[in-house]
Chains A and B, each alone.
Chain A
Amino acid sequence: MKKTLSKNNFHSVGNSVIRNDVIEKVTGTAKYIDDYKFGDMLYGATVRATVPHGNIKSFNSALALKIDGVIAVYTYKDVPGKNEVPFILNDYPLLASDKVLFHGQAIALVVAKTPEIAKFAAKKVEVTYQELPAINDVHQSLKKDAVKIFGNDNIFKRYDIIRGDAENVFEKAAVVVEGKYTTNYQVHAYLETQGMVADPQPDGSIVIYGSMQCPFYIHDAIVHILNVPQNKVRIVQTTTGGAFGGKEDVPSIVAAHAALAAYLSKKPVKIIYSREEDFQAMSKRHPSYIEMKYAADKKGKITAAQVRYILDGGAFSTLSPVVLWRGAVHAAGPYNIPNVKIEAICAATNKVPCGAFRGFGQPQTTFANESLIDELAVKLNISPLELRRINMMKVGSRTATGQKITRSCGLEKVIKQVVQKSDWNKIYLSPEKRTGTIRTGIGIAASFYGVGLGAGGKYLDRAGSYVQVQKDGTVIIAIGNTELGQGVFTVISQIAAEMLGCPYNFVRVLKTDTTRVPDSGPTVASRSTLMSGNAVRNAAGIIRLRIDKMVLEMLNVKSGAVKSNGKNYFLSSDPKKKVRYQDVVKKCYGKRINLTSNGWYAGEDVTFSQETGQGNAYYTYSYSATAAIVKVNTETCEVSVEKLVSGHDIGKALNPQLCEGQIEGGVIQSLGYALTENLIIKNGIMLNPSFAGYLIPTSSDIPEIIPVIVEEPYHDGPFGAKGLGEPPMITPATAIANAIYNATGWRTDKLPVTPEVLLDIKKHLWKKI
Chain B
Amino acid sequence: MIYPEYIQPVSLTDLWGKFPQDKKIYFLAGGTDLFNYLRDGLIDASSSCFVDISLLKQLDGITEESENIRIGALTTFSTISESGLLKKYCPDLVAAAKVLGTPQIANRATIGGNIGNASPAGDALPSLAAHFAKAEVANSKGSRLLNISDVFAGPKKTTLANGEIITAVVIPKIKVKAGFTVVGTFKKIGGRKSHIIAKASVAVFAVVKNKSVDYISVALGAVGPKIIEVRNISKILSGKKVSPELTEKCKDEIRKIASPIDDFRSTAEYRQEVICPLFEQALNEIVKD
Q: Which residues of A are interface residues toward B (Cβ below 8 A)?
A: 114, 116-117, 120, 633, 635-638, 640, 675-676, 678, 680, 682, 687-688, 692-693, 695, 697-701, 754-756, 759
Contacts A/B (CB < 8 Å), 24 sampled: A116-B1, A117-B1, A635-B274, A636-B189, A636-B274, A638-B189, A640-B193, A676-B191, A692-B197, A695-B191, A697-B192, A698-B194, A698-B195, A699-B194, A700-B192, A700-B194, A754-B191, A755-B189, A755-B270, A756-B266, A756-B267, A756-B270, A759-B269, A759-B273
Is the pair A695, B196 in contact by a Cβ cutoff of 8 Å?
yes
Q: How far, in Å, is A64 (CB) from chain B's closest CB? A: 15
Is the pair A701, B192 in contact by a Cβ cutoff of 8 Å?
yes
Contact residues, B180-237 vs A (CB, 8 A) = 189, 191-197
- With the chains together, A680 CA to B2 CA distance in Å? 31
Among the interface residues A675, A680, A759, which one has the most CB atoms of the partner chain B within 10 A?
A759
Residues of B with C-beta under 8 A to A636: 189, 273-274, 277-278
Residues of A with C-beta under 8 A to B1: 114, 116-117, 120
Is the pair B269, A693 in contact by a Cβ cutoff of 8 Å?
no
Q: How far, in Å, is B19 (CB) from chain A's closest CB? A: 27
Give the residue name and chain of the A residue nearest to B196 (CB): A695
Residues of B with C-beta under 8 A to A754: 191
- With the chains together, A756 CA to B268 CA distance in Å? 10
Is the pair B264, A688 in contact by a Cβ cutoff of 8 Å?
yes
Point out the residue from B193, B197, B265, B278 that lies within 8 Å of A698, measured CB to CB: B193
Residues of A with C-beta under 8 A to B197: 692
Give the residue name and chain of the A residue nearest to B278 (CB): A636
Among the interface residues A640, A680, A697, A698, which one has the most CB atoms of the partner chain B within 10 A?
A698
Q: How far, in Å, is B115 (CB) from chain A's closest CB? A: 20
Is the pair A700, B270 in contact by a Cβ cutoff of 8 Å?
no
Q: How far, in Å, is A158 (CB) from chain B's closest CB? A: 33
- With the chains together, A258 CA to B270 CA distance in Å? 46
Residues of A with C-beta under 8 A to B194: 698-701
Residues of A with C-beta under 8 A to B195: 698, 700
Give the residue name and chain of the B residue nearest to A274 (CB): B39
Residues of B with C-beta under 8 A to A755: 189, 270, 274
Residues of A with C-beta under 8 A to B189: 636, 638, 755
Give the residue name and chain of the A residue nearest to B99 (CB): A700
Contacts A687-B264, A756-B267; A637 near B274 (Cβ below 8 A): yes
Is the pair B274, A701 in contact by a Cβ cutoff of 8 Å?
no
Q: Which residues of B are interface residues toward A (Cβ below 8 A)?
A: 1-2, 189, 191-197, 264-267, 269-270, 273-274, 277-278
- With the chains together, A337 CA to B271 CA distance in Å? 45
Contacts A116-B1, A756-B270, A759-B269; A676 near B264 (Cβ below 8 A): no
Residues of B with C-beta under 8 A to A680: 264
4 A-B pairs with the lowest CB-CB distances in the bound complex, closest first = A700-B194, A635-B277, A116-B1, A700-B193
Residues of A with C-beta under 8 A to B191: 676, 678, 695, 754
Residues of B with C-beta under 8 A to A697: 192
Is the pair A759, B270 in contact by a Cβ cutoff of 8 Å?
yes
Q: How far, in Å, is A113 (CB) from chain B's closest CB? A: 12
Q: How far, in Å, is A582 (CB) from chain B's closest CB? A: 49
Q: How far, in Å, is B223 (CB) from chain A's closest CB? A: 13
- With the chains together, A144 CA to B88 CA distance in Å? 68
Q: How far, in Å, is A112 (CB) from chain B's closest CB? A: 12
Contacts A637-B274, A755-B270, A759-B270; A698 near B2 (Cβ below 8 A): no
Is the pair B2, A676 in contact by a Cβ cutoff of 8 Å?
no
Residues of A with C-beta under 8 A to B193: 640, 698, 700-701
- With the chains together, A526 CA to B115 CA distance in Å? 50
- With the chains together, A676 CA to B193 CA distance in Å? 10
Give the residue name and chain of the B residue nearest to A115 (CB): B1
Residues of A with C-beta under 8 A to B273: 636-637, 759
Q: How far, in Å, is B15 (CB) from chain A's closest CB? A: 30
Among the interface residues B1, B196, B265, which one has the most CB atoms of the partner chain A within 10 A?
B265
Give the residue name and chain of the A residue nearest to B193 (CB): A700
Residues of A with C-beta under 8 A to B192: 675-676, 695, 697-698, 700-701
Residues of B with C-beta under 8 A to A699: 194
Residues of B with C-beta under 8 A to A759: 269-270, 273
Among the interface residues A114, A635, A680, which one has the most CB atoms of the partner chain B within 10 A?
A635
Residues of B with C-beta under 8 A to A638: 189
Give the residue name and chain of the A residue nearest to B265 (CB): A693
Point out the residue from A120, A682, A693, A700 that lies within 8 Å of B2, measured CB to CB: A120
- With the chains together, A640 CA to B192 CA distance in Å? 9
Residues of B with C-beta under 8 A to A640: 193
Q: How far, in Å, is A369 (CB) from chain B's closest CB? A: 28
Known A699-B194, A756-B269; 13 more pairs at CB < 8 Å:
A114-B1, A117-B1, A636-B274, A637-B270, A638-B189, A675-B192, A678-B191, A687-B264, A695-B192, A700-B194, A701-B193, A759-B269, A759-B270
- With the chains together, A687 CA to B264 CA distance in Å? 7
Q: How far, in Å, is B281 (CB) from chain A's closest CB? A: 8
Give the residue name and chain of the A residue nearest to B191 (CB): A695
Residues of A with C-beta under 8 A to B266: 756
Q: How far, in Å, is A171 (CB) from chain B's closest CB? A: 41
Residues of A with C-beta under 8 A to B196: 695
Q: How far, in Å, is A280 (CB) from chain B's closest CB? A: 13
- With the chains together, A636 CA to B191 CA distance in Å? 12
Q: How far, in Å, is B117 (CB) from chain A's closest CB? A: 14
Give the residue name and chain of the B residue nearest to A634 (CB): B277
Q: How far, in Å, is A587 (CB) from chain B's closest CB? A: 58
- With the chains together, A319 CA to B195 CA distance in Å? 34
- With the chains together, A699 CA to B196 CA distance in Å? 13
Q: How far, in Å, is B246 (CB) from chain A's closest CB? A: 18
- With the chains together, A675 CA to B192 CA distance in Å? 9
Give the residue name and chain of the A residue nearest to B199 (CB): A755
Residues of B with C-beta under 8 A to A675: 192
Residues of B with C-beta under 8 A to A687: 264
Give the residue name and chain of the B residue nearest to A760 (CB): B269
- With the chains together, A71 CA to B191 CA distance in Å? 44
Give the residue name and chain of the B residue nearest to A762 (CB): B273
Give the residue name and chain of the B residue nearest to A633 (CB): B277
Give the residue name and chain of the B residue nearest to A752 (CB): B191
Q: How far, in Å, is A659 (CB) from chain B's closest CB? A: 27
- With the chains together, A491 CA to B1 CA distance in Å? 45
- With the chains together, A693 CA to B40 CA distance in Å? 14
- With the chains together, A755 CA to B191 CA distance in Å? 8
- With the chains together, A633 CA to B193 CA distance in Å? 14
- With the chains together, A387 CA to B267 CA distance in Å? 38
Q: How far, in Å, is A751 (CB) from chain B's closest CB? A: 15
Q: How far, in Å, is B119 (CB) from chain A's closest CB? A: 12
Residues of B with C-beta under 8 A to A678: 191
Q: How far, in Å, is B267 (CB) from chain A's closest CB? A: 5
Residues of B with C-beta under 8 A to A637: 270, 273-274
Give the residue name and chain of the A residue nearest to B271 (CB): A756
Q: How far, in Å, is B3 (CB) from chain A's closest CB? A: 10
Residues of B with C-beta under 8 A to A693: 264-265
- With the chains together, A636 CA to B195 CA distance in Å? 19
Residues of A with C-beta under 8 A to B278: 636
Q: How far, in Å, is A406 (CB) from chain B's closest CB? A: 44
Residues of A with C-beta under 8 A to B265: 693
- With the chains together, A699 CA to B192 CA distance in Å? 10
Give the residue name and chain of the B residue nearest to A276 (CB): B40
- With the chains together, A754 CA to B270 CA distance in Å? 10
- With the chains together, A688 CA to B266 CA distance in Å? 12
